[in-house]
Amino acid sequence: MKVTDLSCTMINWKSEPWNTGTGSFGGNRLLGIVKVSTDEGIEGHAFLGSSRQGADAYVGPMIEFVKPFLVGRNPLDIGAIWEKLWKMNRNVSTNAIGAVDVALWDIAGQVAGLPIHRLLGTCRDSVPAYASSGLLPSPKAYGEEALHFKNLGWPAYKIHPAAIPKDDIEICQAVREAVGDDMILMLDSMWSYCYEDAVRVGRAIEELDYYWYEDPLVEEDLYNYIKLRNKLDIPIMSVEYAPGRLYGMAQWVTQQATDILRGDVAVTGGITPLIKICHMAEAFRMKCEIHHGGNSLNNVANLHVTMAVPNCEFYEV
């Protein structure tokens, strides 16, 4: 079997605005439908783009650099192909590399007649989900939304706050008061704080029995992450955008800068590196919590990886 073509069809994609303290998502975007064609008539598909950045930001380099390399290759040589694609990452975004990798895994699943998680090594058939908030107008509004999800039966709720430390503490207090002690709560500060504010917010949510503390500092601030982790007891989760992606994770583990690893098929660059990150975390008895994928097919791909590893506890919605 050989790849005969790599194409991307662009379609208009309108979604409701979704804001956070550090940026906005949604509105009018272009979604790319990536297709890898083969000489045996089997086609692999993936989506390219998210509600934050459309496919038009990624598709040009994918066609310019990836397509000439991919055409003529055996699409089942996924590991070898990904290794070469990663070496293009200075010119091609990890989002585009990830879309091609997902499409190749789609082909592999069709050839085998099996779901992708079976090819990866199924560990389970279900996973609990948590609701992930946007930016809301007041602490009370966060509390009301969290209580709404609790009443629907959701086990957990994650806050994307205002990115103002004092206000963020008030939001976390209001949510805990609204839902009581029996709902799992997480905070994703989206790289908003300096070290001192990260300590203050971290200590406050420790007292509120929050489950994890996600991305309080910018992802290149390894030095202060090490200090912060030594200062706090709450599990810290980082590395979503860690420089080097898969190849940048080892120092976060060996230098004990985070408690939980993070990744998804778009930001990490596909199913191939994401499963490796999960396995690396497992070798250290660490969790790797898989991030939202930015579009629906990426979320399906994320779910296949989640089903194939024992150390991702939740599915993000």
> pLDDT value at position 302?
98
- The answer on 256 and 219 residing in a single domain is yes
Query: Does the CA dihedral 246-248-252-254 come out positive or negative?
Result: positive
Q: Where among 98, 113, 128 does a domain terminate?
A: 113
pLDDT (tens place) for every residue of the chain, 317 residues total? 999 999 999 999 998 887 788 777 878 899 999 999 999 999 999 999 998 899 999 999 999 999 999 999 999 999 999 999 999 999 999 999 999 999 999 999 999 999 999 999 999 999 999 999 999 999 999 999 999 999 999 999 999 999 999 999 999 999 999 999 999 999 999 999 999 999 999 999 999 999 999 999 999 999 999 999 999 999 999 988 988 999 999 999 999 999 999 999 999 999 999 999 999 999 999 999 999 999 999 999 999 999 999 999 999 99
> pLDDT value at position 26?
79
Q: Which residue, among 87, 100, 5, 109, has the nearest Cα to 59 in the 3D structure? A: 100
Q: Where among 113, 139, 162 does a domain terminate?
A: 113
> pLDDT value at position 21?
80
CA angle 296, 45, 83 (to 5 degrees): 100
Q: Where among 113, 135, 168 does a domain terminate?
A: 113
- The answer on 293 and 245 residing in a single domain is yes
- The answer on 273 and 176 residing in a single domain is yes
Number of domains in the chain: 2
- The answer on 281 and 178 residing in a single domain is yes
Strand partners, 206: none
- The answer on 122 and 102 residing in a single domain is no
- The answer on 25 and 149 residing in a single domain is no
- The answer on 129 and 74 residing in a single domain is no
CA angle 264, 278, 316 (to 5 degrees): 40
- The answer on 158 and 234 residing in a single domain is yes
Q: Which domain holds residue 84?
A: 3-113
SS3 242: coil
- The answer on 243 and 179 residing in a single domain is yes
- The answer on 108 and 34 residing in a single domain is yes
Q: What is the CATH number of the domain that holds 213?
A: 3.20.20.120
DSSP-derived letter for residue 75 is T
Q: What is the CATH number of the domain that holds 15?
A: 3.30.390.10
CA 303 → CA 116, 289, 291, 308, distances in Å?
10, 11, 10, 9
- The answer on 184 and 59 residing in a single domain is no
> pLDDT value at position 52?
87
Burial string for 33-55 (b: 16+ CB within 10 Å, else e) reads bbbbbbeeeebbebbbbbbeebb
- The answer on 277 and 132 residing in a single domain is yes
Round to whole Å and give the CA distance between 155 and 148. 11
